[in-house]
Amino acid sequence: MRILTILAISILYFTGPVSAENIGFVDLQKVFVNYKETEKAREGFEVKQKELREELEEKQKTLEKAQKDNKKPEEIQKLVAEIQEELQPKQEELMKLNNQLMTSIRSDIVSSTKKVAKEYGVDIVLDKQAILSGGFDLTDFVIEDLND
């Protein structure tokens, strides 16, 4: 009898009250594409990218003119070095802008996902790509929250 009681207690202890956590998922790619700020960020980035491209084209024309005017190879190399030195900080700035924009968008998506998950009583949220079946789709709710 005593062994049965110990066995029953140990079964209750190890199985304990089963807590089924609610699992949800978000299609991050769909959220990213449908978030209004993504489009605004893309447009702003493209403006800066176009400005840099135009400046690069102007520098390329200067280089081509130097070659056409039969400048010495040392002069052309010096011109190339000057152009690279002038454009590198601008390229780095463009990359930094892209990183800032993506970080901001990711942060917004994570915050919104947490908020929506809490509203719907979801404990765990995964990317849709990690789900084979089941789970509660929060995608459209997150998009709606972000775009309000």
Distance CA 138, CA 116 (A): 7
Instruction: Work out the number of other CB atoms within 10 angstroms of the CB of residue 53.
Output: 12
| 3-class SS of residue 40 | helix
- Report the Cα–Cα distance between both ends of the chain, in Å, rounded: 64
Q: What is the CA radius of gyration of the chain?
A: 29
Q: How many residues does the chain have?
A: 148
Quote the pLDDT of residue 125: 95
Token pair belonging to 117: 């998950």
Domain 20-147: state its class.
alpha beta
Quote the pLDDT of residue 16: 41
Quote the pLDDT of residue 9: 39
Q: How would you class 125 by CB atoms within 10 Å of its CB: exposed for 0-12, middle for 13-18, buried for 19 or more?
A: buried
pLDDT tens for 38-69 read 999 999 999 999 999 999 999 899 888 888 88
Quote the pLDDT of residue 21: 66
pTM score, whole prediction: 0.73
Residue 146 in contact with residue 112, Cβ under 8 Å? Answer: yes
Residue 126 in contact with residue 135, Cβ under 8 Å? Answer: yes
Quote the pLDDT of residue 7: 38
pLDDT tens for 108-119 read 999 999 999 999
CA 30 to chain centre: 12
Encode the chain (148 residues) as per-residue pLDDT tens digits: 444 334 333 343 444 443 446 999 999 999 999 999 999 999 999 999 999 999 999 989 988 888 888 888 898 898 889 989 999 999 999 999 999 999 999 999 999 999 999 999 999 999 999 988 889 999 999 999 999 9
